[in-house]
Structure 1
Amino acid sequence: MKIVVLAGGTSTERDVSLSSGSKIYYALKARGHQAILLDVYLGLEFNEPVTKGLFEKDIDWAKDIRAVSESHPDLSRLKEQRKDGGRSMFGPNVLALCELADIVFLGLHGANGEDGRIQAAFDLMGIPYTGTGYLSSALAMDKGLSKQLFRQAKIPTPAGITLKNGQQADPASVPYPCMVKTVCGGSSVGTYRVERPEDLPDVLTKAYTFGEDVIVEQFISGREFSVGVIDGKALPVIEIAPLQGYYDYKNKYQPGSTVETCPADLSSELTAQLQGYAEQVFEALKLSSYARIDFMMDASDDSFYCLEANTLPGMTPTSLLPQEAAAVGMSFEELCEKLIEVSLARYRQA
């Protein structure tokens, strides 16, 4: 098939996305597909007419992609790289190439990629893509809305409040330690653990730099898990244990920073319970194709709490979904093929 892998973009997860995209791109090439890797924002400056022949050119589209750095990227100079000033999210020739593809593999993460906007544009243009649709993407991306749906579906989630537009909470009304998160962030960017009431106002101010709304929620002390779901069926559970601190941006993407165990060391009863919750989340958010659901287990009573759903989970060398797939004998290349298969099935059913 002719496949465009879309990565990059303008979110704080840009570098992670480029790493995911390059790994997906090489896997698809190895499977015999005619693949092109594009940065959705920077696009492709090309003097010749864009035709299907571009898919057949002998070009390594990922040769300049670097490993994910320890800190999230500085996006302030990104617009300077666009000759047109960068008003559109789609860079030069991106839409033209996507329209020529059999499917677009979305390797995007975070805002302007995982929040349903690009999915909605593609739906209007009749461009098939991997992953869930625009509405479920938007619901999952907004942690405040998704937590409301978790509660409605009786899925346990940490207690918390949503603050809007620079609003400050009364520090005395919050339990400590607590977590402060930007509502529409990802990869733990804009996420802070707060130990003392006097630290909360400054932390909220920092969190608002990543978006208008933030969540202040109960801190769950215990073990962290994630469960991939493909076509509504849960994969084996993976446990994440950072060697230092919590599972932040650095610990997620720097090899050797975190011990990941799959299948997780849980009883069969607890494993089944956690997989059941993951499948319930998939249904509650009206997800399709695939996703990855993150949980904490309270050390005091082994109860689970759902943190969030990721509709375009990472596909980097350290990412969790590929490790879960490997636990059931699925190689990374086979996983990419499977994600295309379940995504295309959505269009056949429409």
Structure 2
Amino acid sequence: MKIVVLAGGISTERDVSLISGAGILKALRQRGHQAILLDVFLGYKKRGDDVSNIFEKSDEMDDHVNDIQAVDPDIESVKKLRDGDEKGLFGPNVIEICRQADIVYMGLHGADGENGKVQAAFDILGIRYTGSDYLGSALAMDKGMAKKVFLQSGIPTPNGFSMKKSHVTKLPDEIGYPCIVKPCCGGSSVGMSIAKNEEEYNKALELAFKYEDEVVVEEYIKGREFSVGVIGGKSLPIIEIIPKSGVYDYETKYQPGMAEDVCPAPLSDEITDKMQTYAIDVYRELKLGSYARIDFLLDADDNMYCLEANTLPGMTATSLLPQEAKVLGIEYGVLCEQVIAQALATYNGETEELPAPGTNSHYGKDDLKSL
């Protein structure tokens, strides 16, 4: 197949996206596909250049990708690298190249790749892609809106609210300190803080508002952290994340050795089934597609809280979804192909009906197949 791995962009998760994209590219090529890696913002060459045979000269697309840094990237410096103006997300020849592909593997992360805008543009242009459509992407990316959906659907989630920069309010008594403050539509914990008092709360708001004009404030839940991958409406084994620093922040997520991941997570059968069931419920209620990863907290009394859904889960060396699949004997390349297979099934009208609310459907070792 001719596949564009779309990555990069100008979100705070640009580095994560490029590393994920490089891994996906290598795996797809090893499995015999004509795959190219394309930066959605920087594009390829100059606008108007001939790209009609781009898949036949894919070696020209190869570029060096640096390791992910311990801090989020300098986006203003990235913007200056583009040939021509900085307006608009799509760089030179991006649309033209994506139109030639059988499918676009969405290796994007963060606001510009997961908020539904790229997906909506591709829908209009008839470009096929992996992951959730524009509506599911937008619902999941807006943490304030997702929280409302969780509450209306009976999915447990920390108490919280969203706040605009133009209408800053004091912390309500029903939430209290400590509390979590984070950008409403960010990812990878960029701009997130734990505030223990009013002074820290004001500083946390100041930091979060540097990234966007809306933030989410929620009660702090002390507990163990878990994630559940979902592919095509079925859950993967649960993975537990144990940050060595005590906080699962940007550095901990992407610097090797900063966290211990345990999969399958050491949980009772009852809690495992309950968490996987909620993960599928989230997948359904947010109208997600292809695949996703749902994050949870479990407190000392085994109370469960859903934090958020990731519509384009990371595929780096430390990412969670590949680790969950590997427990089932599914290697990285086969997982990439399965993501594509789920997307193609949706376009062909071949997707299976999702399990009924409150029902768990999970993968066994022989369920995930390559193309």
TM-score by length of 1: 0.97
Q: CA deviation at 1:116?
A: 0.3
Report the counterpart of residue 282 of structure 2 in structure 1: 281
Q: Deviations over 1:193-245 (max 9, x none)?
A: 11112221121111111111111101110100000000000100000000013
Shift of 1:61: 3.7
Kept after mapping to 1: 8 A contact 2:51/2:93: yes
1:164 alignment partner in structure 2: 164
Which residue of the partner structure matches residue 271 of structure 1? 272
Structure 1 runs not aligned, ≥5 long: none
Counterpart AA for 1:39? D
Question: SS state of the match for residue 349, structure 1?
Answer: coil
Contact 1:294 1:308 in 2 (8 A): yes
Equivalent residue number for residue 91 of structure 2: 91
- Secondary structure (helix, strand or coil) at the match of 1:89 reads coil
| 1:215 to 2:216 alignment | yes
AA partner of residue 311 (structure 1): T
SS state at 1:265 partner: coil
Deviation (angstroms), 1:83: 2.3
Do the aligned partners of 1:295 and 1:306 also contact (CA within 8 Å) in 2?
yes
What corresponds to 2:176 in structure 1?
A: 175
Shift of the alpha carbon at 1:160? 0.6
> For each residue in 1:245-275, what CA deviation from the matched residue of structure 2 results, as whole angstroms up to 9, or x when unmatched?
3100000000000000000000111101100
1: distance between equivalents of 2:145 and 2:37? Answer: 33
Superposed displacement of residue 85, structure 1: 1.1
Aligned residue runs from structure 1 range 136-285, under 5 A: 136-171=136-171, 173=173, 174-285=175-286
Partners of 2:282 and 2:75 lie apart in 1 by 32
> Conserved in 2, the CA contact under 8 Å of 1:171 and 1:198?
no
Amino acid at match of 2:273: A
Q: Confirm whether residue 298 of structure 1 aligns to residue 310 of structure 2.
A: no
Specify whether residues 219 and 98 from structure 1 end up closer, same or farther in structure 2 by C-alpha distance, changes over 3 A only: same
1:23 and 1:315 in contact (8 A); partners too = yes
Other-structure match for 2:76 = 76
Give 1:36's aligned residue: 36
| In 1: Cα distance, 2:271 partner to 2:62 partner | 41
Equivalent-residue separation in structure 2 for 1:304 and 1:190 (angstroms): 24
CA separation in 1, counterparts of 2:332 and 2:339?
A: 11
Output the CA distance in 1 between the equivalents of 2:33 and 2:298: 41
Q: Distance in 1 between matches of 2:129 and 2:309?
A: 19
Q: Which stretch of the first structure deviates more once superposed, 334-343 or 167-176? A: 167-176
Q: Deviations over 1:273-308 (max 9, x none)?
A: 100000000011011110000000012x11110000
Q: Secondary structure at the match of 2:343?
A: helix
Q: Which residue of 2 aligns with 1:25?
A: 25
Output the CA distance in 2 between the equivalents of 1:59 and 1:317.
23
1:172 and 1:197 in contact (8 A); partners too: no
CA contact (8 A) 1:17 1:108 kept: yes
Amino acid at match of 1:111: A
The Cα shift of 1:122 comes to 0.3
Q: Once superposed, what is the RMSD of the aligned Cα atoms?
A: 1.3
Could you say if the C-alpha distance between residues 347 and 215 of structure 1 is closer, same or farther in structure 2, counting changes exceeding 3 Å? Answer: same
Measure, in 2, the Cα distance between the counterparts of 1:279 and 1:143.
Answer: 18
Retained in 1: the 8 A contact 2:282–2:309?
A: yes
> Are the equivalent residues in 2 in contact too, given 1:166–1:208 (CA < 8 A)?
no
Q: How far has the Cα of 1:168 moved from its partner? A: 2.5
- Per the alignment, residue 369 of structure 2 pairs with none
The letter of the residue matching 1:70 is: A
Change (3 A) 1:172 1:218: closer
**TM-score normalised to the size of structure 2?**
0.91
Instruction: Indicate whether 1:67 and 2:72 are aligned.
Output: no
| Aligned residue type for 2:318 | T
SS at match of 2:150: helix
| Displacement of 1:48 | 5.1
Distance 1:31 1:60, change over 3 A: farther
Equivalent position of 1:348 in the other structure: 348
**Distance (Å, rounded) in 2 between the aligned partners of 1:59 and 1:195:** 52
Quote the Cα distance in structure 2 between the aligned partners of 1:259 and 1:285.
29
Q: SS of the residue aligned with 2:242?
A: strand
Kept in 1, the 8 Å contact 2:239–2:265? The answer is yes
Whether the 8 Å contact between 1:168 and 1:201 is mirrored in structure 2 is no
Match for residue 319 of structure 1?
Answer: 319
Which residue pairs with 2:118 in the alignment? 118
Q: Distance in 1 between matches of 2:143 and 2:233?
A: 21
Deviation at 1:58, TM superposition (A): 5.3
Q: Tell me how many residue pairs correspond in the alignment.
A: 348
